[in-house]
């Protein structure tokens, strides 16, 4: 029993790797608000997600937006990874074997984040061939690899990539002499309440080491993805959907969000999250509003997505007001909660999201009016 609650992960068949779990707990700190903070960065919130769930979410997003988004998320990953290493401080600068020691530093970081193993296959003055083995997702691997290569070499590079199968991504990096400014912090338009560290269960409590940069939880490949990545991805999507009309039958009202491109993006991100959750086959039982709070520990906080701190019934048909002090990303969290409601109630739902100084308020009701 941890934190006064029953454990959220059954440990009767615990096959975790103790040193890995200890290292993950030290670096990725759980908070009472249901978030996970990467202690090696300036408080960057982190999603502990099974790669199969991420890939299902990403595929649903591409389908909903009717676009191929691999290059968009690769460039978002490159920007986010550059920002990550800027926060880490300078890479080692020894007199001898500087490149090799910098590569080792990158792989030590990636080992805990589950991002695979970075290798330099060939390098000349202008062109380099990079390899990520045990990669979790090929577009993420390509963008992140190019970013760390820029940090290692202290130069800018254009990149393209190919997937060799067997969890390997090959990246071709070409010297780019353009002056490109360094990354700056991203901004987001919602409020999160800071929370103290806590000992609530997290998915990585059962992390099992498999290979370099590759660990699993109960047999499922798992990675640590920063919120910064998703916000940069959202920003890179905007120019490509600026002419897209928003559906008149959107499931969610995003109060305070006025930009059409953001509304379209959040609608799609939320619906992709809803569909991904429903496809997972998770069972949800809600008999009283208070059950939402315990449900959120398993389906939100376990992954660092947030935690419901208050739930109130608003009608006789399952309608509920939910309050979260913090959320990894409103669209992803609202979509997950819509999926939970639909699984519990057996019918389609709609939501209304607002954010104020106390965090996030989400109202979920039946999507179609029910006769008395």
Q: What is the DSSP letter of 316?
A: T
pLDDT of residue 97: 84
Has residue 301 got a pLDDT over 70? yes
pLDDT in tens, 105-150: 999 999 999 999 999 999 999 999 999 999 999 999 999 999 999 9
Tokens of 75: 């460039």
The span from the CA of 38 to the CA of 180, in Å, is: 27
pLDDT of residue 371: 58
| E-strand stretches of the chain | 28-30, 36-38, 44-50, 117-123, 127-133, 157-165, 168-175, 207-211, 214-217, 220-226, 252-254, 306-313, 320-327, 349-356, 359-366
Has residue 17 got a pLDDT over 70? yes
pLDDT of residue 2: 34
Has residue 84 got a pLDDT over 60? yes
Q: Which residues pair with 118 in a beta bridge?
A: 132
> In what order do the strands lie in the sheet containing 168-175?
117-123, 127-133, 168-175, 157-165
pLDDT in tens, 153-209: 999 999 999 998 889 999 999 999 888 888 898 988 899 999 999 988 899 999 999
Average pLDDT over residues 310-316: 95
| Confidence at 242, pLDDT banded by 50, 70, 90 | confident
pLDDT of residue 42: 80
With CA atoms as reference, report the closest residue to 115 among 192, 38, 187, 61.
38
Q: What is the DSSP letter of 305?
A: B
CB 155 within 8 A of CB 175: yes
Among the ranges given (5-14, 42-51, 324-333), the one the predictor scored with the smallest mean pLDDT: 5-14
Q: Which residues contact 50 (CB under 8 A, 6 or more apart)?
A: 217, 220, 221, 222
Tokens of 244: 């897209």
| 3-state class percentages of the chain: helix first, strand second, coil last, to nearest 5 | 40, 25, 35
| Burial class (CB within 10 angstroms; exposed 0-12, middle 13-18, buried 19+) of 331 | buried
pLDDT in tens, 32-62: 999 999 999 888 999 999 999 999 999 999 9
Average pLDDT over residues 320-347: 97
With CA atoms as reference, report the closest residue to 138 among 36, 54, 215, 199.
54
The span from the CA of 204 to the CA of 198, in Å, is: 14
| E-strand stretches of 60-140 | 117-123, 127-133
Radius of gyration of the chain (CA): 21
Which domains does the chain possess? 14-50+75-224 (3.30.1380), 242-366 (3.30.1380.20)
> In what order do the strands lie in the sheet containing 28-30?
28-30, 36-38, 44-50, 220-226, 214-217, 207-211
pTM of the model: 0.93
């Amino acid at each position: 029993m941890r934190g006064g609650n029953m454990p959220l992960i059954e440990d009767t068949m615990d096959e975790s790797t103790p040193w890995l779990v200890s290292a993950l707990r030290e670096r990725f700190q759980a908070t009472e608000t249901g978030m996970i903070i990467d202690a090696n960065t300036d408080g960057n919130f982190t999603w502990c997600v099974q790669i199969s769930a991420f890939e299902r979410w990403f595929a649903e997003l591409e389908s909903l937006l009717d676009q191929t988004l691999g290059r968009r998320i690769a460039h978002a990953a490159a920007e986010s990874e550059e920002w990550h290493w800027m926060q880490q401080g300078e890479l080692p600068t020894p007199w001898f074997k500087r490149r090799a020691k910098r590569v080792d530093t990158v792989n030590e970081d990636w080992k805990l984040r589950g991002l695979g193993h970075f290798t330099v296959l060939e390098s000349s003055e202008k062109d380099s061939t990079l390899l990520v083995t045990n990669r979790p997702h090929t577009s993420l691997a390509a963008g992140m690899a190019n970013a760390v290569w820029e940090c290692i070499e202290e130069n800018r590079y254009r990149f393209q990539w190919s997937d060799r199968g067997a969890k390997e991504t090959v990246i071709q990096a070409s010297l780019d002499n353009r002056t490109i400014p360094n990354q700056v912090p991203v901004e987001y338009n919602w409020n999160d309440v800071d929370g103290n560290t806590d000992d609530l269960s997290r998915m990585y409590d059962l992390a099992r080491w498999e290979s370099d940069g590759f660990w699993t939880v109960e047999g499922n490949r798992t990675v640590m993805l920063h919120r910064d990545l998703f916000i940069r991805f959202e920003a890179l999507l905007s120019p490509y959907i600026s002419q897209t009309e928003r559906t008149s039958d959107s499931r969610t009202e995003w109060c305070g969000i006025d930009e059409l491109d953001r509304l379209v993006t959040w609608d799609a991100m939320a619906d992709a999250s809803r569909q991904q959750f429903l496809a997972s086959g998770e069972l949800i039982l809600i008999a009283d509003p208070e059950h939402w709070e315990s449900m959120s520990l398993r389906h939100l906080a376990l992954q660092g997505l947030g935690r419901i701190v208050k739930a109130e019934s608003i009608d006789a048909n399952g309608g509920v007001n939910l309050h979260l002090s913090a959320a990894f990303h409103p669209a992803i969290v609202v979509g997950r909660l819509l999926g939970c409601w639909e699984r519990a109630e057996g019918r389609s739902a709609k939501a209304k999201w607002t954010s104020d100084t106390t965090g996030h308020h989400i109202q979920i009701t039946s999507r179609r009016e029910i006769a008395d």
